[in-house]
Structure 1
Amino acid sequence: MRFVSIASGSSGNCIYAGTESTHILVDAGISAKRIEQGLFEVGLKAGEVNAICITHEHTDHVRGLGVLARKYAIPIYGTKGTLQEIQKIKGLGEYPEELLHPVLPDVKFTVGDMDVLPFHIDHDAADPVAYRIQSGNKSIAVATDLGHYNQYTIDHLLDLDAVLLESNHDLRMLETGPYPYYLKRRIMGDFGHLSNENAGRLLNCILSGKMRHILLGHLSQENNMPELAYETVRLEVDMGDTPYQASDFYMAVARRDRMSDILTV
């Protein structure tokens, strides 16, 4: 299985996971043109994508969805609440409603030779989910927009080979930055986003000898820096109560303006 971030950040998100025969996008929050270019760099055409799995309806996760749906008739998966909200977004334009496939948290569905498990996350959206994707004995997960995490979250992220995990903001940058008070409260709240420190703490709960690849994603443009996210999470892992060090894993920051390395799981 291959795993790559085409783009990840507060301005737009699109993650690819696939095997030789099945190709899935998690979110389509950048322009269709950028998604097409990213897939080209993976060696694919957008028409070869078998499914787009939407985490929630916010613009940075659905911006390119309408164009992709119209051009390529790609099936779109999301919870009922998410799909209902997407249908209200006039900016996405018209596309065939039969492309929309509702899913339920904790109910697995299959796309080609890949099993996809949506699981609930706490975020200020209609019915948001993260996704765990498995093919054979290999498993990856995309988990962003986490207001907080609990044992349920941890349980769904155990025994992974690779993960893209939210590391949205640095608390000090957010607290002293230009955002209005209500927005700072939203981001730091239980239905907001995961800080660098909490990303490292969650990572300590899910690390195992099976884990090989870690991408830190959904970084805030205003309240974080790639180097700061990386170093904060690295320190949390190195100082955590686990037998692992950050150097035991491939760990990198997924950028908003460029693709990550293409990871082979």
Structure 2
Amino acid sequence: MSLRVSVLASGSTGNSIYVETDDQCLLIDAGLSGKKMEQCFEQIKLSPSKLNGILVTHEHSDHVKGVGILARKYKLPIYANTRTWKAMENGLGKIPVEQKFHFETGVTKSFGNIDVESFGVSHDAAEPMFFTFHHNGRKLSIVTDTGYVSERIKGITKGSNSFVFESNHDMDMLRMGKYPWSVKRRILGDEGHVSNVDAAIALSEILTDDPVNVYLAHLSLDNNMKELARMTVHQTLEEKGYEIGKRVKLFDTDPFNPTPLTAV
């Protein structure tokens, strides 16, 4: 019985991740329209009707745009912490009370045979949190939408067999790009997003000697490129002694095309 993951969409335009076992099917965020979310599921030959629930990380539109639509259409429970519920509730549209559930930060909650551990991150939302999934001795961690990777996050996620890890921007592209300084300052700040270099350094302090898959996620369309993110992380990890392609496998994610459904 394996733990499997597909990054359905990842980037500035929308984010969603699908996690399953033989017993449970969970969606983490739904940041695309309902129609586009269904198209993502079609691409991995699955249906949202299989889902046992939607876990919400925070209220930003690139994470919740399709949550209300999918929940109503497929009668899915939604799980979020109290402050996130308060921040996003009006934007979701009417959700029946029996589909609303609370999942607080710093708690481990069981969904069938998956144990899901929530942890806080530093981002400019009401109470953003992400998740580590435990099943049958395998571990998957999702770490995006954070201005920095704290020692606590490193401790929680250490030993994961797979990571979906933020590599949002190239520092030079962002500084020289078209964004106004106020936006650049937000992205670069402690409640913004992790750069390629910072992602690589954090990973070098988290990875163990075991084989691991790393999905580089939430890349900016304007301030990053897949090749640049991969090259930066590759070079830094190799300098730290990690064998890329053998011990550590790096994978791209995409704003519009899901990654194959793969065992963790």
* Same fold, judged at TM 0.5 (above): yes
CA distance in 1, matches of 2:108, 2:225: 35
The letter of the residue matching 1:25 is L
Residue equivalent to 2:262: 263
Residue equivalent to 2:10: 8
The 5-angstrom pairing of residues 85-234 of structure 1 reads 85-89=87-91, 92-234=92-234
1:147-198: CA deviations, max 9, x gaps? 1112101011111010100000000000010000110000000000000000
Give the unaligned 5+ runs of structure 1: none
The letter of the residue matching 1:252 is F
Give the unaligned 5+ runs of structure 2: none
CA distance in 2, matches of 1:41, 1:255: 13
Matched residues, percent identical? 36
TM-score using structure 1 length: 0.95
Greater Cα offset, 141-150 or 58-67: 141-150
Greater Cα offset, 114-123 or 45-54: 45-54
Greater Cα offset, 150-159 or 28-37: 28-37
Residue equivalent to 1:71: 73
Whether contact under 8 Å (2:18, 2:27) holds in the other structure is: yes
Whether contact under 8 Å (2:44, 2:258) holds in the other structure is: no
Whether contact under 8 Å (2:44, 2:260) holds in the other structure is: no
Q: Kindly state the Cα deviation for residue 212 of structure 1 after the two structures are TM-superposed.
A: 2.3
SS at match of 1:247: coil
The letter of the residue matching 1:112 is G
Whether contact under 8 Å (1:77, 1:102) holds in the other structure is: yes
TM-score using structure 2 length: 0.95
The letter of the residue matching 1:244 is Y
SS at match of 1:88: helix
The letter of the residue matching 2:120 is H
Residue equivalent to 2:54: 52
CA distance in 2, matches of 1:211, 1:56: 30
Whether contact under 8 Å (1:140, 1:161) holds in the other structure is: yes
Whether contact under 8 Å (1:10, 1:219) holds in the other structure is: yes
1:70-118: CA deviations, max 9, x gaps? 10111111111111111132xx322213312112222100111111111
Q: Kindly state the Cα deviation for residue 209 of structure 1 after the two structures are TM-superposed.
A: 3.0
Whether contact under 8 Å (2:59, 2:125) holds in the other structure is: yes
Greater Cα offset, 149-158 or 95-104: 95-104
Q: Kindly state the Cα deviation for residue 244 of structure 1 after the two structures are TM-superposed.
A: 1.6
- CA RMSD in angstroms, aligned pairs only: 1.2
Whether contact under 8 Å (2:43, 2:258) holds in the other structure is: no
Q: How many residues align?
A: 261
Q: Kindly state the Cα deviation for residue 39 of structure 1 after the two structures are TM-superposed.
A: 2.3
The letter of the residue matching 1:209 is D
Q: 1:225 to 1:254 in 2, by over 3 A?
A: same
Residue equivalent to 2:25: 23
